[in-house]
């Protein structure tokens, strides 16, 4: 499973990319607005930090303007994926950009029927929002199960399932068990995945035992260091 991080915070991206765990980045106008910086500059800088796909969202809602915005964003870097909403105009734009060789991430997917339309329109990624479905009393992960099953039935569909609106590590694990291709995680959720109380307890015990030896792997004893 590929991990994208859902942020426009360059410091967070730089730090997490250094772990080797980040395969891409997703952004949206709301995330970029939090930076207080120029949208195009932020996207360009993120693309330089991460070699994988970087989703940049159009803000228009009508096809001709969406296409114009998408083409402009695609020129920022080779790894830009244009993010369009799952609307008729969004899918028209998806088809046009895909035909030009541009990656497209179709976002705001809330049903398997919508996901099938996105795949037929040539989307590189479709983004079902599991957390938002959970918020309204629907099982978001059941949608992931349905989309993965449908796509597997038709090998000609090359769209990857990009699980979005992830709220906690369990969402990530369940999506991976179902065979989703990508999860886009807020930085806080990716950091939570490192954590387990038994890891902390075990490390503390190891360090306590090591301290008793008075040794240093780098060759200095405590006495010498003093």
- Cβ(80)–Cβ(58) under 8 Å? no
Q: Per DSSP, what are the bridge partners of residue 82? A: 56, 104
Spatial separation of the C-alpha atoms in residues 204 and 211, rounded to whole Å: 11
CA 131 to chain centre: 14
Contacts of 198 (CB under 8 A, 6+ apart): none
Among 83, 92, 201, 212, the active-site one is 83
For residue 83, indicate whether it is catalytic: yes
Residues pairing with 126 in the sheet? 106, 161
Separation CA 171–CA 129 (nearest Å):
11
Residues recognised as catalytic: 83
């Amino acid at each position: 499973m590929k991990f994208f991080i859902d942020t426009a915070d360059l410091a967070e991206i730089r730090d997490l990319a250094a772990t080797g765990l980040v395969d891409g980045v997703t952004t949206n106008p709301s995330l970029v607005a939090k930076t207080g910086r120029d949208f195009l500059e932020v996207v360009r800088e993120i693309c330089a930090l991460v070699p994988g796909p970087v989703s940049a969202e159009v803000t228009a809602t009508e096809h001709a303007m969406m296409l114009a915005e998408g083409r402009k964003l695609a020129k920022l870097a080779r790894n830009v994926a244009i993010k369009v909403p799952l609307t008729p105009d969004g899918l028209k734009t998806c088809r046009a950009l895909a035909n030009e060789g541009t990656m497209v991430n179709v976002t705001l997917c809330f049903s398997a029927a919508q996901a099938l339309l996105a795949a037929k329109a040539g989307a590189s990624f479709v983004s079902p929002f599991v957390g938002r479905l959970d918020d309204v009393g629907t099982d978001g992960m059941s949608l992931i199960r349905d989309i993965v099953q449908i796509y597997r039935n038709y090998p000609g569909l090359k769209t990857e399932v990009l699980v979005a609106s992830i709220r906690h590590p369990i969402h990530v694990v369940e999506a991976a068990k179902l065979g989703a291709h990508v999860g886009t995680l807020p930085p806080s959720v990716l950091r939570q995945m490192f954590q387990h109380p038994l890891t902390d307890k075990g490390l503390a015990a190891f360090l306590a035992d090591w301290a008793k030896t008075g040794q240093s792997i780098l060759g200095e004893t405590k006495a010498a260091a003093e």
